[in-house]
Structure 1
Amino acid sequence: MNDISISILFSILGILILMSAFFSSSETGMMSLNRYRLRHLVKNKDRAAIRVENLLSRPDRLIGVILIGNNFVNILASSIATIIAIRLWGDSGIAIATGVLTLVILVFAEVTPKTLAALKPEAIAFPSSLILRPLLVTLYPFVWLVNAISNGLLRMVGVNADEIGSDHLSREELRTLVNESGAILPTRHRGMLLSILDLEEVTVDDIMIPKHEVIGIDLDEDTDDIIKALQSTQHTRLPVFKADLNSPVGVLHLRKISRLLMDDDLNKAKIMQQAVEPYFVPEGTPLHMQLVNFQKVKRRMGFVVDEYGDVQGIVTLEDILEEIVGEFTTDYAASSQDIHPQEDGSFIIDGMATIRDINKALKWHLPTKGPKTLNGLITDHLQTIPEHNLCFKIGNYRFETIQIKDNLVKTARVVSVKPSKKKTISAAS
């Protein structure tokens, strides 16, 4: 070393600092890569992505070769800096070299390159793989020895380095990923993806049309009345039953019956020939399962039945699709027959309106765990069926019952108010 000029030693020191910066940035870049984007690039046969994927398949080996190289060049740089300092300042130069080199390595070989790699991981990791791959092959014996020792120490504390952790996303993590996608995904597409994730939490009970609201064909009625109902209906499919919905006999598609409506001899028997047998859906079936079930049986409508076989309502494929894409009307609150906006900002709502429909229409957050309808929510909160009109609050919403009849809250006035710590129930004047 005494025969080497100081200028050459400075050049070597500069090269070593650059190499240290390379190893530092490579480590951060490799670890900061978006694994899902990397897999996408691998599927598209991107060569750089394939190289990086192979390196990351054994992170212990990748980290081993990077740290071996980084520590080697840092130690060598420290030795050369010490030689330069001794030549320039004598023995006191050792302290100077230590302080100056620490600052230089910290700024130029650690903080700056690692920050750059964290911000631009692909720009750093992909080119680095061209050097790290052959370097790993060259230094494999040393890497193997270091990994054997370090993995042995990990096993002593119960960690198996050979078990690569799963990168699979949970449903909640995927939800966060969709929410954080920003401008990458249009707002409507984000909403649809989130709605698909929610299908597992929503059941057919939440979206079914209650049986008292179902429009269908009662075979116990006169043939003329049935024909009039078929001619005036706005629905493409109608349930067919006897007396009430608890005795379903089939589902009628208006496309099949339209030609028969011109027949003067149309009767109930001909109508029934066009009906398909009823399809039953157990209550509590999650929507994601029912969507698949509709596809399997090639049906679009099902009768929701409870554990005793009683029909609770009907669910259609369109109802499930609306949970994903949203209501087909532009203003659900304005078009809903159950929700009537008032000039004072309140809403008069039918007691049989479902909580989920109210929340979707008004962007509210009424509790959905428990009762399904507004009447059920009110009676569950009061723990009794009110005999007189009442005013009370549930969370951030003020309720006023307007009509109580047949042991049901027929209509209520509801308004969203500012959060309040007190919850009061008082008789309306």
Structure 2
Amino acid sequence: MPLNFFIALLVVLILLSAFFAGSETALMSINRYRLRHLAKHGHRGAQFAEKLLKRPDRLIGMILLGNIAVHSASSAITTFITLRLWGESWIAATTGVLTLFILIFGEIAPKTLSALYPERVAIPSSYIYIVLQWILFPLVWMTNLMSNGVLRLLGVSPEDAAEHSLSVEELRSVVAEAGALIPQRHQRMLLSILDLEKATVEDIMVPRNEIIGIDISEPWDVVREEIISSQHTRLPVFDGSIDDLKGVVHLRRVVRLAAEDKLDTESLLTLVREPYFIPEGTPLNQQLLNFQNQKRRIGFVVDEYGDIQGLVTLEDILEEVVGEFTSDPATSMKNVYADPDGSFRVTGFATIRSLNRRLGWKLPVDGPKTLNGLVLEKLENIPQPGRRLDIAGYDIEITETRANAVKSARIRPPTLIASAPKAKKVRAIH
């Protein structure tokens, strides 16, 4: 045969080496979830690729057999061409050149290209490998039988392909790194859904001392005014104290009677629905399902002794996902008042989670749920007005106390502290 035929055959073998090397990298690095999505939508190549990846031991065995055959043939043909052209003394030199060519054009370059564009390489390659799988099945099966036997001695079962499932943290990273593929607002919502399991009902509940309701022990003029002027659609009904809770009433059912002055204790109690109680520590994702299953929109958080600690609504949980969606200015930044100097006056029962979410702060949330609790934990003493302390870089000054608790405090965020003159910079006082 003419020498040109062997030279052309050598070029073809180098190209085959590039194909095996590149397709192996592409198939092993392709996004399995993207591949599964394409396969479910009927993409033939994606279906082939997914089928091949279900048994990666067979796929790798087939690729290595092809690669070894190509390299062996390339070495033999190179030796033959060298003997025809220059003689035996040049065999070592030409073998070195061939090795360099295969390394660059048959390994590094195609593998780099495939790592950058795995989908473009892997899916077309799968058509070829599906055919090769049937042609080389006896040889692949024999070699895999021996290699899998070695793996079993090490406690590995090749038949069980690795499940590529994502943990919550990995899924959070995928969403956060989606970039322009997912709008930023949608990213925040998806991350908030994933974070629901980290928060409990105590993190978002309205504390018991903030619960607004109908006290049937008060004069009916006061009760009637409370019903008519209320900005809520559902109100708790109690007798003297929230501990003597009667239930929850929908104002749509009573406002007409109240406006006509036909409402009394007996008629009100007939409209009351029995209260729904939530154990403290219930995760928000679980409570969202509980609200759905129980057909409820409002619940009362109770501690281990059965005492009511606060109130949680369905809207509170939904706001954890979509953000503040109320148009009522009276509820915007509740318990927080901004001052012209950049500091904030905050009531002691404001929750740490709501402050962080609404103001973009990073106060610690792994301990107490309210500002009062956070200050008392760090202070380890009875709070006194004028006392200042540093918590996570936030300067907190107690401005008012009541019954050994922080009623209000002034908070200066780190950005405000950093911009202040050094002589006036707030330091921690313990």
TM tier relative to shorter chain: over 0.9
Matching residue of 1:367: 364
Matching residue of 2:333: 336
Per-residue Cα deviation, 1:297-351 (whole angstroms, up to 9, x for no partner): 1000001111111111110000000000111258999932422222222212111
Amino acid at match of 1:283: E
In 1, Cα distance between the equivalents of 2:259 and 2:19? 83
Matching residue of 2:31: 34
Give the TM-score normalised by the residue count of structure 2.
Answer: 0.94
Deviates further, 326-335 or 35-44? 326-335
CA contact (8 A) 2:396 2:410 kept: yes
Amino acid at match of 2:398: T
Gapped runs of 5+ residues in structure 2? 419-424
Matches within 5 A, 1:192-207: 192-207=189-204
In 2, Cα distance between the equivalents of 1:243 and 1:229? 15
Amino acid at match of 1:356: R
SS across alignment from 1:178:
helix
Amino acid at match of 1:57: K
Matching residue of 1:317: 314
In 1, Cα distance between the equivalents of 2:69 and 2:409? 77
SS across alignment from 1:412:
strand
- Of 150, 153, 159 in structure 1, the residue corresponding to residue 150 of structure 2 is 153
Change (3 A) 1:333 1:176: farther
In 2, Cα distance between the equivalents of 1:227 and 1:363? 40
> Across the two proteins, how many residue pairs are aligned to each other?
423
Is 1:233 equivalent to 2:230 in the alignment?
yes
In 1, Cα distance between the equivalents of 2:398 and 2:408? 6
Deviates further, 159-168 or 77-86? 159-168
- Of 248, 253, 267 in structure 1, the residue corresponding to residue 245 of structure 2 is 248
Matching residue of 1:134: 131
CA contact (8 A) 1:333 1:362 kept: no
Distance apart, 1:257 and its partner CA: 2.0
In 1, Cα distance between the equivalents of 2:212 and 2:394? 32
CA contact (8 A) 2:384 2:398 kept: no
Matches within 5 A, 1:76-91: 76-91=73-88
Amino acid at match of 1:369: D
In 2, Cα distance between the equivalents of 1:371 and 1:333? 26
CA contact (8 A) 2:395 2:428 kept: no
- Of 282, 287, 293 in structure 1, the residue corresponding to residue 290 of structure 2 is 293
- Of 341, 347, 350 in structure 2, the residue corresponding to residue 350 of structure 1 is 347
Deviates further, 202-211 or 369-378? 369-378
In 2, Cα distance between the equivalents of 1:287 and 1:318? 12
SS across alignment from 2:400:
strand
Change (3 A) 1:331 1:171: farther
Matches within 5 A, 1:168-247: 168-247=165-244
Matches within 5 A, 1:382-397: 382-397=379-394
Change (3 A) 1:424 1:415: closer
Amino acid at match of 1:100: V
Amino acid at match of 1:360: R
Per-residue Cα deviation, 1:191-216 (whole angstroms, up to 9, x for no partner): 01111111111000110001110110
In 2, Cα distance between the equivalents of 1:343 and 1:261? 43
Deviates further, 209-218 or 332-341? 332-341
In 1, Cα distance between the equivalents of 2:114 and 2:321? 39
CA contact (8 A) 2:299 2:312 kept: yes
Change (3 A) 1:331 1:277: closer
CA contact (8 A) 1:334 1:340 kept: no
In 2, Cα distance between the equivalents of 1:333 and 1:200? 29
CA contact (8 A) 1:333 1:361 kept: no
In 2, Cα distance between the equivalents of 1:345 and 1:271? 47
Change (3 A) 1:129 1:331: farther
Per-residue Cα deviation, 1:250-301 (whole angstroms, up to 9, x for no partner): 1111222233234343222222222211111111110011000000010000
Distance apart, 1:405 and its partner CA: 2.9
Gapped runs of 5+ residues in structure 1? none
In 2, Cα distance between the equivalents of 1:23 and 1:223? 86
Amino acid at match of 2:291: F
Is 1:409 equivalent to 2:395 in the alignment?
no
CA contact (8 A) 1:390 1:425 kept: no
Matching residue of 1:269: 266
Matching residue of 2:421: none
Change (3 A) 1:230 1:277: same
Change (3 A) 1:265 1:338: closer
Amino acid at match of 2:33: Y
SS across alignment from 2:197:
coil
In 2, Cα distance between the equivalents of 1:271 and 1:257? 7
- Of 119, 123, 140 in structure 2, the residue corresponding to residue 122 of structure 1 is 119
SS across alignment from 1:392:
strand
Distance apart, 1:370 and its partner CA: 1.5
Change (3 A) 1:334 1:287: closer
CA contact (8 A) 2:390 2:429 kept: no
In 2, Cα distance between the equivalents of 1:425 and 1:20? 67
Identity %: 52
Per-residue Cα deviation, 1:169-199 (whole angstroms, up to 9, x for no partner): 1111111111111111001111011111111
In 1, Cα distance between the equivalents of 2:114 and 2:334? 58
Give the TM-score normalised by the residue count of structure 1.
Answer: 0.94
Distance apart, 1:63 and its partner CA: 0.8
In 2, Cα distance between the equivalents of 1:117 and 1:417? 47
CA contact (8 A) 1:208 1:313 kept: yes
SS across alignment from 2:163:
coil
Change (3 A) 1:424 1:301: same
In 2, Cα distance between the equivalents of 1:221 and 1:386? 34
Distance apart, 1:389 and its partner CA: 2.0
Amino acid at match of 2:341: D
Distance apart, 1:403 and its partner CA: 1.7
